[in-house]
């Protein structure tokens, strides 16, 4: 049986990636902070990021150019004021991170000039300039390690590892009248199987993505859409979940799981090719976009998917044999090493790749400061949707957003904190209650539902969609969610059950969003509506939980 312990902090951060840890460091200036990490604190989507951070750091680049590339990639769904605000905040945020100890690759380290201390800037799909600051090809790890080290050294921050958030404590969910307030969250300590009640004045959701809703993904196992699902259950607005980005190039090999080949590889000259009937590698991207292999991700992913279906191929290939082995080892040490493990030399062998679910451009609707509309609740990073990415995220803009938005949250909270505390509703917050039954078939049921959801999401709600496919997916998820909800309350809470509940919730939101958008735009392609509808530009697809009181 799950038992409850009550803990009180000024601020609660759910998620330990770049957005969560940056939020913690900023809010620690105002009070005591708790950070919940579902597994170890260094296990996040941030850690997996290879390419880098898109930021104007060169005299040949301008804010205007970066803004324009972002807007073009976003296919008419970006909020221009948000795009400008984040991009202009980029250089200061990067300098602050560097001051905290993060190291990024210099031109001297790349051999351009042995004594040059200027940063080596990469280029990725959709960018017309070199503006991607990187730490080799393990940029995310460098950022995560730097932020985590700073958080561990901060006496105002307590990190709770292996704590899975179950649900937000929301005044409307408790049946309290008046405005909706977030009062904290319930979280399962997976080491002890106890449910703790975390009470806070301000809660920040920074739980990352939802790639595990799909069969094939670049995301780590933790990416189950927890933040979106919890916010939906707390009556927050969820928007634009139909725009799910599929990374075009995941390493295709039976012995390797979910290893991403960075878009920066194409930025350094790799070409996408496919084998013809004679086994020859031929280029194909010139048939799809003027930027060819450096086209935005939505274009590239659909092109690869189409070529694979047209030819019956299991994969396509990234060919960077134009670069020397010495250069590739310096620029992509981690990717080079991983390829070597399966017998591939990037300088001599084309790399087999396929698309996979990668990044959710939709999420919890927030304003420019990360505020969700629920008093005391903010969101940052991939879990949030403020209009920065639009219908398709520009490569390496995500880490930029994760570093900038927490600063906006901090400023907003600082200005509103006295008001938030003064207006906070009073009343007894009940402990978490759940069923006490156990069943030997529990893991079998969870595993079966998990696999079924991920497979039909891939088949019916993936890169290529139709009304019929989406309707099939809707019929299946409706029945599965009914089963999960009943099962959820009959049995005691486990991590597997929490994740299954969240994945099923997010899957249904993605399906409903896709059914609602009667056009093809950005990452959402529906063959029954193959063209853009100009009337739907900048029109969000909004999903709300029906009120039950």
* β pairing state of 121-122 and 53-54: unpaired
Secondary structure in 3-state letters for 308-363: HHHHCCCCEEEECCCCCHHHHHHHCHHHHHHHHHCCCCCCCCCEEEEEEEEEECCE
H/E element, 307:
helix 297-311
| In the block, residue with structure tokens 């976003």 | 74
Contacts of 473 (CB under 8 A, 6+ apart): 456, 457, 460, 461, 507, 511
Distance, CA of 364 to CA of 382 (rounded, Å): 9
CA distances from 416 to 164, 384, 403, 404, 411 (A): 28, 20, 21, 19, 9
Length of the chain in terms of residues written: 549
| In the block, residue with structure tokens 């250069």 | 327
| Whether residue 297 lies in the annotated active site | yes
Using an 8 Å Cβ cutoff, are 297 and 248 in contact?
yes
| In the block, residue with structure tokens 């904190």 | 417
Q: Bridge-partner residues for 36, per DSSP?
A: 14, 160
Q: Find the DSSP H helices in 391-494.
A: 397-423, 442-460, 467-490
Angle of the 467-490 helix axis to the 495-516 helix axis, nearest 10: 150
Q: Bridge-partner residues for 386, per DSSP?
A: none
Q: What are the φ and ψ backbone dihedral angles of 299, each rounded to 5 degrees?
A: -65, -45
Burial (CB count <10 Å: 0-12, 13-18, 19+), residue 373: middle
Q: What is the DSSP letter of 152?
A: H
Strand order in the sheet with 244-251: 244-251, 351-360, 316-319, 271-275, 281-283
CA distances from 357 to 27, 384, 542 (A): 32, 17, 22
Which residue is catalytic, options 173, 266, 297, 517? 297
Q: Name the token pair of 58.
A: 């060169």
Concatenating the DSSP letter of every residue in 501-547 gives HHHHHHHHHHHHHHHH--S-BTTB-BTTB-S--GGGTT---EE-PPP
Using an 8 Å Cβ cutoff, are 200 and 12 in contact?
yes
Q: Name the token pair of 61.
A: 């680049």
Using an 8 Å Cβ cutoff, are 429 and 183 in contact?
yes
H/E element, 497:
helix 495-516
Catalytic residues: 297
């Amino acid at each position: 049986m799950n038992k409850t312990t009550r803990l009180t902090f000024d601020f609660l951060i759910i998620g330990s990636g770049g957005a969560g840890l940056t939020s913690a460091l900023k809010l620690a200036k105002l009070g005591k902070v708790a950070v919940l990490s579902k597994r170890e604190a260094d296990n996040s989507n941030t850690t997996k990021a290879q390419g880098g951070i898109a930021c104007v750091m060169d005299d040949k680049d301008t804010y205007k150019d970066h803004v324009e590339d972002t807007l073009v990639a976003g296919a008419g769904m970006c909020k221009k004021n948000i795009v400008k605000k984040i991009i202009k905040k980029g250089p200061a945020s990067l300098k602050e991170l560097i001051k905290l100890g993060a190291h990024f690759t210099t031109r001297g380290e790349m051999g351009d000039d042995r004594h040059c201390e200027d940063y080596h800037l990469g280029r990725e799909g959709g960018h017309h300039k070199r503006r991607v600051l990187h730490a080799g090809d393990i940029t995310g790890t460098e950022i995560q390690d730097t932020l985590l080290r700073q958080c561990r050294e901060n006496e105002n921050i307590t990190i709770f590892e292996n704590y899975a958030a179950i649900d937000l404590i929301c005044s409307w969910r408790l049946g309290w009248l008046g405005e909706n307030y977030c009062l904290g969250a319930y979280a399962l300590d997976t080491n002890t199987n106890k449910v703790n009640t975390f009470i806070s004045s301000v809660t920040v959701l920074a739980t990352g993505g939802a790639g595990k809703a799909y069969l094939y993904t670049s995301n780590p196992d933790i990416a189950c859409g927890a933040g979106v699902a919890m916010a939906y259950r707390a009556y927050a607005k969820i928007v634009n979940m139909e725009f799910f980005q599929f990374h075009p190039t995941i390493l295709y090999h039976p012995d390797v799981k979910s290893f991403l080949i960075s878009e920066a590889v194409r930025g350094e000259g790799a070409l996408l090719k496919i084998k013809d009937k004679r086994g020859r590698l031929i280029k194909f991207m010139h048939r799809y976009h003027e930027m060819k292999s450096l086209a935005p991700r939505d274009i590239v992913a659909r092109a690869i998917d189409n070529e694979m279906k047209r030819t019956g191929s299991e994969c396509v290939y990234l060919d960077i044999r134009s670069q020397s082995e010495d250069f590739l080892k310096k620029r992509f040490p981690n990717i080079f090493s991983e390829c070597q493990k399966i017998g591939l030399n990037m300088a001599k062998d084309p790399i087999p790749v396929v698309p996979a679910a990668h990044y959710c451009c939709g999420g919890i609707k927030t304003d420019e400061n990360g505020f969700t509309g629920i008093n005391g609740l903010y969101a940052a990073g991939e879990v949030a949707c403020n209009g920065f990415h639009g219908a398709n995220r520009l490569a390496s803009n995500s880490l930029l957003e994760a570093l900038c938005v927490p600063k906006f949250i901090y400023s907003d909270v600082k200005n509103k904190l006295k008001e938030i505390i003064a207006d906070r509703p009073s009343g007894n917050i009940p402990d978490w209650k759940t069923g006490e039954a156990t069943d030997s078939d529990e893991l079998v049921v969870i595993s079966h539902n998990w696999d079924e959801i991920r497979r039909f999401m891939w088949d019916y709600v993936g890169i290529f969609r139709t009304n019929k496919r989406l309707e099939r997916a809707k019929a299946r998820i409706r029945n599965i969610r009914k089963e999960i909800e009943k099962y959820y309350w009959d049995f005691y809470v486990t991590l597997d059950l929490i994740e299954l509940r969240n994945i099923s919730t997010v899957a249904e939101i993605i399906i409903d969003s896709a059914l609602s958008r009667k056009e093809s735009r950005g990452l959402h392609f529906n063959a029954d509506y193959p063209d853009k509808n100009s009337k739907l530009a900048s029109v969000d697809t909004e999903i709300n939980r029906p009120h039950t009181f």
